[in-house]
Structure 1
Amino acid sequence: MTSEIAEVAVWRGDGVQVLRLARPEKKNALTGAMYRALADAIEAGDADDSIAAHIITGSGGVFTAGNDIGDFLATSRGTGDLSTDVVRFIRLLPVVKKPLIAAVDGAAIGIGTTLLFHCDLVYATPDATFATPFLDLGVTPEAASSLLMPQRMGYARAFAMLVLGEPVSADGAVVAGFVNAIIPAADLEKTALDAARRLAKKPPEALAVARRLLRGDASEILQRTDQEVSAFRERLRSPEAIEAFTAFFEKRPPRFDKSA
Protein backbone atom coordinates (compact mmCIF):
# COMPACT_ATOMS: atom_id res chain seq x y z
CA MET A 1 0.00 0.00 0.00
CA THR A 2 1.39 3.39 -1.01
CA SER A 3 0.21 6.89 -0.10
CA GLU A 4 1.77 10.33 -0.37
CA ILE A 5 1.35 13.26 2.01
CA ALA A 6 3.28 16.53 1.70
CA GLU A 7 5.86 15.05 -0.68
CA VAL A 8 6.58 12.05 1.54
CA ALA A 9 5.51 8.76 -0.05
CA VAL A 10 4.63 6.02 2.44
CA TRP A 11 4.62 2.35 1.47
CA ARG A 12 3.66 -0.46 3.83
CA GLY A 13 4.06 -4.17 3.27
CA ASP A 14 5.80 -7.29 4.62
CA GLY A 15 6.02 -5.76 8.09
CA VAL A 16 7.96 -2.75 6.77
CA GLN A 17 7.14 0.93 6.40
CA VAL A 18 9.11 2.82 3.74
CA LEU A 19 9.18 6.62 3.92
CA ARG A 20 10.38 8.13 0.66
CA LEU A 21 11.29 11.80 0.39
CA ALA A 22 9.55 12.70 -2.87
CA ARG A 23 10.59 16.24 -3.77
CA PRO A 24 13.36 15.50 -6.26
CA GLU A 25 12.97 18.79 -8.14
CA LYS A 26 14.18 20.51 -4.94
CA LYS A 27 16.69 17.78 -4.06
CA ASN A 28 14.24 16.53 -1.43
CA ALA A 29 14.81 19.59 0.75
CA LEU A 30 12.56 19.23 3.78
CA THR A 31 9.69 21.62 4.42
CA GLY A 32 7.72 21.93 7.64
CA ALA A 33 4.94 19.87 6.08
CA MET A 34 7.41 17.11 5.19
CA TYR A 35 8.76 16.99 8.75
CA ARG A 36 5.18 16.70 9.97
CA ALA A 37 4.40 13.91 7.49
CA LEU A 38 7.52 11.98 8.53
CA ALA A 39 6.70 12.29 12.22
CA ASP A 40 3.07 11.27 11.64
CA ALA A 41 4.12 8.21 9.67
CA ILE A 42 6.75 7.10 12.17
CA GLU A 43 4.35 7.45 15.09
CA ALA A 44 1.66 5.56 13.16
CA GLY A 45 4.10 2.78 12.29
CA ASP A 46 5.31 2.52 15.87
CA ALA A 47 1.70 2.08 17.00
CA ASP A 48 0.91 -0.54 14.34
CA ASP A 49 1.65 -4.13 15.38
CA SER A 50 1.96 -5.14 11.73
CA ILE A 51 4.97 -2.85 11.23
CA ALA A 52 8.34 -4.08 12.51
CA ALA A 53 10.74 -1.53 10.99
CA HIS A 54 10.91 1.84 9.25
CA ILE A 55 13.04 2.75 6.22
CA ILE A 56 13.82 6.32 5.17
CA THR A 57 15.10 6.90 1.65
CA GLY A 58 15.22 9.61 -0.98
CA SER A 59 14.43 9.86 -4.69
CA GLY A 60 15.94 11.16 -7.89
CA GLY A 61 19.48 10.21 -6.87
CA VAL A 62 19.40 12.42 -3.77
CA PHE A 63 18.70 11.56 -0.14
CA THR A 64 17.98 15.12 0.99
CA ALA A 65 19.55 18.56 0.64
CA GLY A 66 18.52 19.23 4.25
CA ASN A 67 16.07 21.81 5.46
CA ASP A 68 14.46 24.03 2.83
CA ILE A 69 16.51 27.25 2.90
CA GLY A 70 13.40 29.27 2.02
CA ASP A 71 11.79 28.13 5.27
CA PHE A 72 14.95 29.07 7.15
CA LEU A 73 14.98 32.55 5.60
CA ALA A 74 11.28 33.09 6.31
CA THR A 75 11.82 32.12 9.95
CA SER A 76 14.86 34.38 10.18
CA ARG A 77 12.86 37.34 8.89
CA GLY A 78 9.91 36.60 11.15
CA THR A 79 7.51 35.71 8.31
CA GLY A 80 7.46 31.98 9.02
CA ASP A 81 7.98 29.46 11.81
CA LEU A 82 8.96 25.89 11.04
CA SER A 83 10.20 25.16 14.55
CA THR A 84 7.19 23.15 15.77
CA ASP A 85 7.36 20.60 12.96
CA VAL A 86 11.15 20.35 12.99
CA VAL A 87 11.42 20.01 16.75
CA ARG A 88 8.70 17.36 16.85
CA PHE A 89 10.60 15.28 14.28
CA ILE A 90 14.06 15.57 15.81
CA ARG A 91 12.73 14.88 19.33
CA LEU A 92 11.03 11.77 17.95
CA LEU A 93 14.23 10.30 16.51
CA PRO A 94 15.80 9.20 19.84
CA VAL A 95 12.56 7.53 20.99
CA VAL A 96 11.41 5.69 17.86
CA LYS A 97 10.25 2.31 19.17
CA LYS A 98 11.02 0.19 16.12
CA PRO A 99 14.23 -0.17 14.11
CA LEU A 100 14.99 2.72 11.79
CA ILE A 101 16.94 2.03 8.59
CA ALA A 102 18.27 4.59 6.13
CA ALA A 103 19.01 3.96 2.45
CA VAL A 104 21.14 6.85 1.20
CA ASP A 105 21.89 7.66 -2.42
CA GLY A 106 23.53 10.95 -3.39
CA ALA A 107 23.73 13.97 -1.13
CA ALA A 108 22.74 13.79 2.53
CA ILE A 109 22.99 17.35 3.83
CA GLY A 110 22.27 18.75 7.31
CA ILE A 111 19.42 16.76 8.84
CA GLY A 112 20.04 14.22 6.07
CA THR A 113 23.28 13.35 7.86
CA THR A 114 22.37 14.01 11.50
CA LEU A 115 19.28 11.78 11.43
CA LEU A 116 21.53 8.86 10.44
CA PHE A 117 23.06 8.84 13.92
CA HIS A 118 19.63 7.83 15.25
CA CYS A 119 19.28 4.96 12.75
CA ASP A 120 19.95 1.33 13.59
CA LEU A 121 21.23 0.48 10.11
CA VAL A 122 22.48 2.77 7.34
CA TYR A 123 23.24 1.68 3.78
CA ALA A 124 24.71 4.02 1.19
CA THR A 125 25.65 3.99 -2.47
CA PRO A 126 29.19 4.78 -3.69
CA ASP A 127 27.89 8.21 -4.79
CA ALA A 128 26.55 9.12 -1.33
CA THR A 129 28.07 12.19 0.30
CA PHE A 130 27.49 13.55 3.78
CA ALA A 131 27.80 17.15 4.95
CA THR A 132 26.69 19.28 7.89
CA PRO A 133 27.33 22.90 6.81
CA PHE A 134 25.49 24.47 9.74
CA LEU A 135 28.14 27.08 10.57
CA ASP A 136 28.35 28.15 6.93
CA LEU A 137 24.67 29.11 7.25
CA GLY A 138 25.22 30.99 10.50
CA VAL A 139 23.47 28.35 12.60
CA THR A 140 24.54 25.50 14.89
CA PRO A 141 24.28 21.67 15.00
CA GLU A 142 20.92 19.98 15.53
CA ALA A 143 19.30 16.57 16.21
CA ALA A 144 21.77 15.98 19.07
CA SER A 145 24.60 15.80 16.53
CA SER A 146 26.90 17.76 18.85
CA LEU A 147 26.62 14.79 21.24
CA LEU A 148 26.19 11.78 18.97
CA MET A 149 28.74 12.58 16.28
CA PRO A 150 31.74 12.92 18.65
CA GLN A 151 30.63 9.74 20.43
CA ARG A 152 30.44 7.76 17.20
CA MET A 153 33.21 9.33 15.10
CA GLY A 154 35.57 10.81 17.65
CA TYR A 155 35.97 14.51 18.36
CA ALA A 156 38.38 15.28 15.53
CA ARG A 157 36.18 13.87 12.75
CA ALA A 158 33.05 15.42 14.29
CA PHE A 159 34.70 18.85 14.54
CA ALA A 160 35.82 18.65 10.92
CA MET A 161 32.27 17.92 9.80
CA LEU A 162 30.25 20.11 12.15
CA VAL A 163 32.51 23.14 12.45
CA LEU A 164 34.92 23.13 9.52
CA GLY A 165 32.14 21.88 7.26
CA GLU A 166 34.17 19.15 5.54
CA PRO A 167 32.04 16.67 3.56
CA VAL A 168 32.51 12.93 4.00
CA SER A 169 32.41 10.32 1.24
CA ALA A 170 30.63 6.98 1.46
CA ASP A 171 33.94 5.26 2.22
CA GLY A 172 34.70 7.85 4.87
CA ALA A 173 31.30 7.33 6.46
CA VAL A 174 31.96 3.60 6.80
CA VAL A 175 35.33 4.31 8.40
CA ALA A 176 33.70 6.88 10.71
CA GLY A 177 31.16 4.26 11.81
CA PHE A 178 27.83 5.74 10.78
CA VAL A 179 27.29 3.76 7.56
CA ASN A 180 27.10 -0.04 7.71
CA ALA A 181 27.89 -0.85 4.10
CA ILE A 182 28.28 0.61 0.61
CA ILE A 183 25.78 -0.90 -1.80
CA PRO A 184 25.44 -0.46 -5.59
CA ALA A 185 22.62 1.96 -6.38
CA ALA A 186 20.63 -0.75 -8.16
CA ASP A 187 20.62 -2.86 -4.99
CA LEU A 188 20.25 -0.16 -2.34
CA GLU A 189 16.55 -0.39 -1.58
CA LYS A 190 16.50 -4.18 -1.88
CA THR A 191 19.29 -4.37 0.70
CA ALA A 192 17.40 -2.10 3.09
CA LEU A 193 14.15 -4.01 2.54
CA ASP A 194 15.85 -7.37 3.05
CA ALA A 195 17.29 -6.17 6.35
CA ALA A 196 13.90 -4.80 7.46
CA ARG A 197 12.16 -8.04 6.51
CA ARG A 198 14.72 -10.02 8.48
CA LEU A 199 13.97 -7.84 11.49
CA ALA A 200 10.24 -8.39 10.93
CA LYS A 201 10.81 -12.14 11.41
CA LYS A 202 12.48 -11.68 14.80
CA PRO A 203 10.53 -12.20 18.05
CA PRO A 204 9.10 -8.67 18.48
CA GLU A 205 9.46 -8.40 22.25
CA ALA A 206 13.04 -9.69 22.21
CA LEU A 207 13.83 -7.29 19.37
CA ALA A 208 12.43 -4.36 21.32
CA VAL A 209 14.37 -5.27 24.47
CA ALA A 210 17.65 -5.82 22.60
CA ARG A 211 17.31 -2.53 20.77
CA ARG A 212 16.45 -0.69 23.98
CA LEU A 213 19.54 -2.11 25.70
CA LEU A 214 21.79 -1.23 22.78
CA ARG A 215 20.51 2.33 22.48
CA GLY A 216 20.44 3.09 26.19
CA ASP A 217 18.68 5.95 27.96
CA ALA A 218 17.43 8.62 25.57
CA SER A 219 17.23 11.35 28.23
CA GLU A 220 20.74 12.70 27.60
CA ILE A 221 20.07 12.83 23.85
CA LEU A 222 16.79 14.66 24.37
CA GLN A 223 18.44 17.11 26.75
CA ARG A 224 21.14 17.89 24.19
CA THR A 225 18.49 18.18 21.48
CA ASP A 226 16.66 20.81 23.51
CA GLN A 227 19.89 22.72 24.15
CA GLU A 228 20.63 22.70 20.43
CA VAL A 229 17.08 23.82 19.60
CA SER A 230 17.47 26.81 21.90
CA ALA A 231 20.77 27.78 20.29
CA PHE A 232 19.48 27.13 16.77
CA ARG A 233 16.41 29.34 17.29
CA GLU A 234 18.58 32.17 18.54
CA ARG A 235 20.99 31.79 15.63
CA LEU A 236 18.20 31.64 13.02
CA ARG A 237 17.34 35.25 13.75
CA SER A 238 20.93 36.44 13.91
CA PRO A 239 22.38 38.86 11.32
CA GLU A 240 24.87 36.14 10.34
CA ALA A 241 22.15 33.63 9.48
CA ILE A 242 20.05 36.18 7.58
CA GLU A 243 23.12 37.17 5.55
CA ALA A 244 24.03 33.52 4.87
CA PHE A 245 20.51 32.62 3.69
CA THR A 246 20.24 35.78 1.58
CA ALA A 247 23.63 35.11 -0.01
CA PHE A 248 22.53 31.55 -0.80
CA PHE A 249 19.55 32.80 -2.79
CA GLU A 250 21.56 35.55 -4.44
CA LYS A 251 24.26 33.01 -5.37
CA ARG A 252 27.11 35.00 -3.88
CA PRO A 253 29.57 34.52 -1.00
CA PRO A 254 28.19 35.76 2.33
CA ARG A 255 29.65 38.92 3.82
CA PHE A 256 29.90 38.43 7.58
CA ASP A 257 30.71 41.27 9.99
CA LYS A 258 34.20 40.47 11.36
CA SER A 259 34.21 43.31 13.90
CA ALA A 260 32.17 41.49 16.54
Structure 2
Amino acid sequence: MSDILVTDQGPVRVIRMNRLDKKNALTLPMYEAMAEAIAGTAHNADIRCLMIAGGPDVFCAGNDIGDFMKAAQGSGGLGQPILDFLHALVRCEKPVVAAVNGNAVGVGTTMLLHCDYVVAGTSVRLLTPFVGLGLVPEAASSLVAPRLMGHARAFALLVMGQPLHAQEAREAGIVNDVVEPAETDATALAAAQKIAALPAQGVLMSRRLMRGSVDEIVKRIDEEADAFKLRLKSQEAQAAFMAFMTRKK
Protein backbone atom coordinates (compact mmCIF):
# COMPACT_ATOMS: atom_id res chain seq x y z
CA MET A 1 0.00 0.00 0.00
CA SER A 2 1.19 3.50 -0.82
CA ASP A 3 2.81 5.62 1.87
CA ILE A 4 0.59 8.52 0.73
CA LEU A 5 -3.10 7.89 0.11
CA VAL A 6 -5.03 10.44 -1.93
CA THR A 7 -8.81 10.19 -2.13
CA ASP A 8 -11.40 12.67 -3.30
CA GLN A 9 -14.48 12.66 -1.08
CA GLY A 10 -16.81 14.86 -3.04
CA PRO A 11 -15.33 18.37 -3.05
CA VAL A 12 -12.67 17.46 -0.45
CA ARG A 13 -9.30 15.94 -1.38
CA VAL A 14 -7.91 13.90 1.51
CA ILE A 15 -4.12 13.45 1.60
CA ARG A 16 -3.23 10.84 4.19
CA MET A 17 0.28 9.94 5.37
CA ASN A 18 0.29 6.16 5.63
CA ARG A 19 3.77 5.01 6.61
CA LEU A 20 2.54 3.95 10.02
CA ASP A 21 5.31 1.43 10.73
CA LYS A 22 7.74 4.38 10.67
CA LYS A 23 5.37 6.78 12.47
CA ASN A 24 4.79 8.62 9.19
CA ALA A 25 8.39 9.80 8.93
CA LEU A 26 8.41 11.49 5.53
CA THR A 27 10.63 10.22 2.73
CA LEU A 28 11.42 12.20 -0.40
CA PRO A 29 8.94 10.16 -2.51
CA MET A 30 6.24 10.93 0.07
CA TYR A 31 6.95 14.64 -0.26
CA GLU A 32 6.73 14.30 -4.04
CA ALA A 33 3.37 12.55 -3.82
CA MET A 34 1.93 15.16 -1.47
CA ALA A 35 3.21 18.04 -3.62
CA GLU A 36 1.56 16.49 -6.69
CA ALA A 37 -1.71 15.91 -4.83
CA ILE A 38 -1.81 19.55 -3.70
CA ALA A 39 -0.69 21.09 -7.00
CA GLY A 40 -3.17 18.92 -8.88
CA THR A 41 -6.09 20.80 -7.35
CA ALA A 42 -5.08 24.14 -8.88
CA HIS A 43 -7.18 23.71 -12.04
CA ASN A 44 -9.72 21.28 -10.62
CA ALA A 45 -12.84 23.25 -9.81
CA ASP A 46 -14.49 20.16 -8.34
CA ILE A 47 -12.05 20.15 -5.42
CA ARG A 48 -12.92 22.99 -3.06
CA CYS A 49 -10.89 22.06 0.04
CA LEU A 50 -7.97 19.82 1.06
CA MET A 51 -7.56 17.75 4.20
CA ILE A 52 -4.18 16.48 5.42
CA ALA A 53 -4.31 13.56 7.86
CA GLY A 54 -2.09 10.97 9.48
CA GLY A 55 -2.83 7.81 11.42
CA PRO A 56 -5.01 7.20 14.47
CA ASP A 57 -2.00 7.32 16.82
CA VAL A 58 0.55 9.52 15.06
CA PHE A 59 0.39 12.42 12.63
CA CYS A 60 3.98 12.70 11.42
CA ALA A 61 7.41 11.97 12.91
CA GLY A 62 9.08 14.56 10.70
CA ASN A 63 11.71 13.85 8.06
CA ASP A 64 13.01 10.32 7.62
CA ILE A 65 16.31 10.17 9.50
CA GLY A 66 17.92 8.14 6.71
CA ASP A 67 17.23 10.93 4.21
CA PHE A 68 18.57 13.43 6.73
CA MET A 69 21.82 11.48 7.09
CA LYS A 70 22.24 11.30 3.30
CA ALA A 71 21.65 15.03 3.07
CA ALA A 72 24.19 15.68 5.80
CA GLN A 73 26.78 13.57 4.00
CA GLY A 74 26.02 15.10 0.60
CA SER A 75 25.27 18.65 -0.44
CA GLY A 76 21.56 18.55 -1.16
CA GLY A 77 20.31 20.42 1.88
CA LEU A 78 16.60 19.99 2.47
CA GLY A 79 16.14 18.35 -0.92
CA GLN A 80 14.05 19.55 -3.85
CA PRO A 81 11.04 17.29 -3.09
CA ILE A 82 10.72 18.88 0.37
CA LEU A 83 10.90 22.38 -1.09
CA ASP A 84 8.39 21.42 -3.78
CA PHE A 85 5.96 20.25 -1.11
CA LEU A 86 6.38 23.38 1.00
CA HIS A 87 5.99 25.65 -2.02
CA ALA A 88 2.90 23.75 -3.15
CA LEU A 89 1.35 23.97 0.31
CA VAL A 90 2.01 27.70 0.65
CA ARG A 91 0.91 28.53 -2.89
CA CYS A 92 -2.22 26.35 -2.70
CA GLU A 93 -5.31 28.52 -3.20
CA LYS A 94 -7.72 25.93 -1.84
CA PRO A 95 -8.32 25.99 1.94
CA VAL A 96 -6.42 23.31 3.87
CA VAL A 97 -7.76 21.46 6.90
CA ALA A 98 -5.62 19.14 9.05
CA ALA A 99 -6.63 16.19 11.21
CA VAL A 100 -3.91 15.53 13.80
CA ASN A 101 -3.49 12.74 16.35
CA GLY A 102 -0.47 11.84 18.46
CA ASN A 103 2.96 13.30 17.76
CA ALA A 104 3.56 15.93 15.10
CA VAL A 105 7.34 16.38 14.92
CA GLY A 106 9.37 18.84 12.87
CA VAL A 107 7.63 19.43 9.56
CA GLY A 108 4.66 17.60 11.07
CA THR A 109 4.23 20.73 13.19
CA THR A 110 5.43 23.42 10.81
CA MET A 111 3.09 22.37 7.99
CA LEU A 112 0.18 23.07 10.35
CA LEU A 113 1.14 26.75 10.37
CA HIS A 114 -0.03 26.91 6.75
CA CYS A 115 -3.34 25.15 7.33
CA ASP A 116 -6.55 27.14 7.63
CA TYR A 117 -8.31 24.87 10.12
CA VAL A 118 -6.68 22.31 12.41
CA VAL A 119 -8.48 19.65 14.42
CA ALA A 120 -6.34 17.99 17.10
CA GLY A 121 -7.01 14.93 19.18
CA THR A 122 -6.40 15.22 22.91
CA SER A 123 -3.27 13.06 22.44
CA VAL A 124 -1.54 15.63 20.22
CA ARG A 125 1.96 16.80 20.99
CA LEU A 126 3.70 19.30 18.70
CA LEU A 127 7.50 19.23 18.77
CA THR A 128 10.19 20.94 16.67
CA PRO A 129 13.65 19.61 17.64
CA PHE A 130 15.53 21.49 14.90
CA VAL A 131 17.98 23.46 17.02
CA GLY A 132 18.63 20.47 19.27
CA LEU A 133 19.89 18.68 16.15
CA GLY A 134 22.11 21.62 15.25
CA LEU A 135 19.71 22.82 12.55
CA VAL A 136 17.30 25.72 12.03
CA PRO A 137 13.51 25.82 11.66
CA GLU A 138 11.99 25.30 8.20
CA ALA A 139 8.71 25.76 6.28
CA ALA A 140 8.84 29.53 6.94
CA SER A 141 8.08 28.76 10.58
CA SER A 142 10.62 31.40 11.62
CA LEU A 143 8.35 33.96 9.95
CA VAL A 144 4.84 32.58 10.48
CA ALA A 145 5.10 31.19 14.03
CA PRO A 146 6.11 34.48 15.74
CA ARG A 147 3.29 36.27 13.91
CA LEU A 148 0.80 33.64 14.96
CA MET A 149 1.96 32.88 18.50
CA GLY A 150 4.11 35.83 19.50
CA HIS A 151 7.89 35.75 19.78
CA ALA A 152 8.09 34.19 23.26
CA ARG A 153 5.92 31.17 22.48
CA ALA A 154 7.54 30.72 19.07
CA PHE A 155 11.02 30.83 20.59
CA ALA A 156 10.11 28.19 23.16
CA LEU A 157 8.71 25.92 20.45
CA LEU A 158 11.18 26.45 17.60
CA VAL A 159 14.47 27.16 19.42
CA MET A 160 14.12 25.56 22.85
CA GLY A 161 12.18 22.59 21.49
CA GLN A 162 9.51 22.75 24.18
CA PRO A 163 6.48 20.66 23.14
CA LEU A 164 2.98 22.01 22.81
CA HIS A 165 0.11 19.75 23.78
CA ALA A 166 -3.30 19.94 22.16
CA GLN A 167 -4.92 22.51 24.43
CA GLU A 168 -1.75 24.62 24.55
CA ALA A 169 -1.62 24.57 20.74
CA ARG A 170 -5.21 25.77 20.67
CA GLU A 171 -4.38 28.61 23.06
CA ALA A 172 -1.39 29.50 20.86
CA GLY A 173 -3.61 29.81 17.79
CA ILE A 174 -2.35 26.76 15.87
CA VAL A 175 -5.33 24.50 16.58
CA ASN A 176 -9.05 25.28 16.16
CA ASP A 177 -10.74 22.28 17.79
CA VAL A 178 -9.59 19.71 20.34
CA VAL A 179 -11.58 16.49 20.28
CA GLU A 180 -11.25 12.86 21.31
CA PRO A 181 -8.76 11.04 19.04
CA ALA A 182 -11.46 8.79 17.57
CA GLU A 183 -13.37 11.90 16.45
CA THR A 184 -10.50 13.79 14.81
CA ASP A 185 -10.92 12.64 11.22
CA ALA A 186 -14.70 13.00 11.18
CA THR A 187 -14.56 16.46 12.76
CA ALA A 188 -11.90 17.64 10.30
CA LEU A 189 -13.79 16.23 7.31
CA ALA A 190 -17.00 17.93 8.48
CA ALA A 191 -15.10 21.24 8.70
CA ALA A 192 -13.64 20.71 5.22
CA GLN A 193 -17.08 19.95 3.79
CA LYS A 194 -18.49 23.06 5.46
CA ILE A 195 -15.74 25.18 3.90
CA ALA A 196 -16.27 23.51 0.52
CA ALA A 197 -19.96 24.45 0.62
CA LEU A 198 -19.16 28.18 0.89
CA PRO A 199 -19.04 30.40 -2.22
CA ALA A 200 -15.69 29.48 -3.78
CA GLN A 201 -14.65 32.92 -5.00
CA GLY A 202 -15.60 34.51 -1.70
CA VAL A 203 -13.40 32.00 0.12
CA LEU A 204 -10.56 32.53 -2.37
CA MET A 205 -10.50 36.31 -2.08
CA SER A 206 -10.97 36.33 1.69
CA ARG A 207 -8.16 33.84 2.15
CA ARG A 208 -5.82 35.87 -0.07
CA LEU A 209 -6.50 38.99 1.97
CA MET A 210 -5.97 37.20 5.28
CA ARG A 211 -2.74 35.45 4.30
CA GLY A 212 -0.96 38.43 2.82
CA SER A 213 2.10 38.02 0.60
CA VAL A 214 2.68 34.42 -0.42
CA ASP A 215 5.94 35.45 -2.09
CA GLU A 216 7.24 36.66 1.27
CA ILE A 217 6.53 33.25 2.79
CA VAL A 218 8.14 31.40 -0.12
CA LYS A 219 11.20 33.64 0.15
CA ARG A 220 11.56 32.75 3.84
CA ILE A 221 11.22 29.02 3.02
CA ASP A 222 14.12 29.38 0.61
CA GLU A 223 16.20 31.45 3.06
CA GLU A 224 15.67 28.82 5.75
CA ALA A 225 16.62 26.10 3.26
CA ASP A 226 19.93 27.83 2.55
CA ALA A 227 20.65 28.08 6.28
CA PHE A 228 19.53 24.49 6.77
CA LYS A 229 21.99 23.32 4.12
CA LEU A 230 24.85 25.09 5.89
CA ARG A 231 23.83 23.72 9.27
CA LEU A 232 23.66 20.14 8.00
CA LYS A 233 27.39 20.37 7.33
CA SER A 234 28.17 21.84 10.76
CA GLN A 235 30.03 19.93 13.45
CA GLU A 236 27.08 20.50 15.78
CA ALA A 237 24.63 18.84 13.41
CA GLN A 238 26.99 15.97 12.54
CA ALA A 239 27.55 15.22 16.22
CA ALA A 240 23.84 15.45 17.00
CA PHE A 241 22.92 13.05 14.21
CA MET A 242 25.57 10.54 15.24
CA ALA A 243 24.36 10.69 18.85
CA PHE A 244 20.79 10.19 17.66
CA MET A 245 21.66 7.21 15.49
CA THR A 246 23.73 5.64 18.27
CA ARG A 247 20.86 6.08 20.71
CA LYS A 248 18.43 4.52 18.20
CA LYS A 249 20.62 1.43 17.95
AA of the residue aligned to 1:222? V
**Offset of 1:27 from its aligned partner?**
0.5
Contact 1:57–1:104 under 8 Å retained in 2? yes
Instruction: Give distance in 2, aligned partners of 1:145 and 1:81.
Output: 17
1:58-109 residue CA offsets vs partner (Å, 9 max, x unmatched): 0141000000111111111128776110111112222111001111000000
Which has the larger displacement, 108-117 or 199-208? Answer: 199-208
Instruction: Give distance in 2, aligned partners of 1:131 and 1:33.
Output: 23
**Offset of 1:238 from its aligned partner?**
1.6
Instruction: Give distance in 1, aligned partners of 2:56 and 2:247.
Output: 24
**Offset of 1:198 from its aligned partner?**
1.2
AA of the residue aligned to 1:168? L
1:28-49 residue CA offsets vs partner (Å, 9 max, x unmatched): 0000000000000001123211
What is aligned with 1:169? Answer: 165
For 1:99, which of 95, 98, 109 is the aligned residue? 95
Instruction: Give distance in 2, aligned partners of 1:47 and 1:118.
Output: 20
What is aligned with 1:34? Answer: 30
Please, what TM-score do these two structures have when normalized by structure 2?
0.96
Contact 1:107–1:130 under 8 Å retained in 2? yes
What is aligned with 2:141? Answer: 145
Contact 2:75–2:229 under 8 Å retained in 1? no
Contact 1:74–1:81 under 8 Å retained in 2? no
- 1:40-189 pair list within 5 angstroms: 40-78=36-74, 83-189=79-185
Matched, 1:223 2:238: no
- Find runs of 4+ consecutive structure 1 residues off by over 2 angstroms: 79-82
Instruction: Give distance in 2, aligned partners of 1:44 and 1:161.
Output: 32
Unaligned segments of structure 1, at least 5 residues: 253-260
Report the 3-state secondary structure (helix = DSSP H, G, I; strand = E; otherwise coil) of the residue aligned with 1:251.
helix
Report the 3-state secondary structure (helix = DSSP H, G, I; strand = E; otherwise coil) of the residue aligned with 2:7.
strand
CA RMSD of aligned residues (A): 1.5
What is aligned with 1:201? Answer: 197
AA of the residue aligned to 2:35? A
Instruction: Give distance in 1, aligned partners of 2:101 and 2:165.
Output: 11
Unaligned segments of structure 2, at least 5 residues: none
Please, what TM-score do these two structures have when normalized by structure 1?
0.92
Report the 3-state secondary structure (helix = DSSP H, G, I; strand = E; otherwise coil) of the residue aligned with 1:45.
coil
Matched, 1:238 2:228: no
Instruction: Give distance in 2, aligned partners of 1:224 and 1:117.
Output: 14
AA of the residue aligned to 1:27? K
AA of the residue aligned to 1:136? G
Which has the larger displacement, 42-51 or 124-133? Answer: 42-51
Instruction: Give identity over the alignment, percent.
Output: 45
AA of the residue aligned to 2:109? T
Report the 3-state secondary structure (helix = DSSP H, G, I; strand = E; otherwise coil) of the residue aligned with 2:241.
helix
Instruction: Give distance in 2, aligned partners of 1:135 and 1:96.
Output: 28
Instruction: Give distance in 1, aligned partners of 2:74 and 2:214.
Output: 32
What is aligned with 2:9? Answer: 13
AA of the residue aligned to 2:234? S
Instruction: Give distance in 1, aligned partners of 2:22 and 2:238.
Output: 21
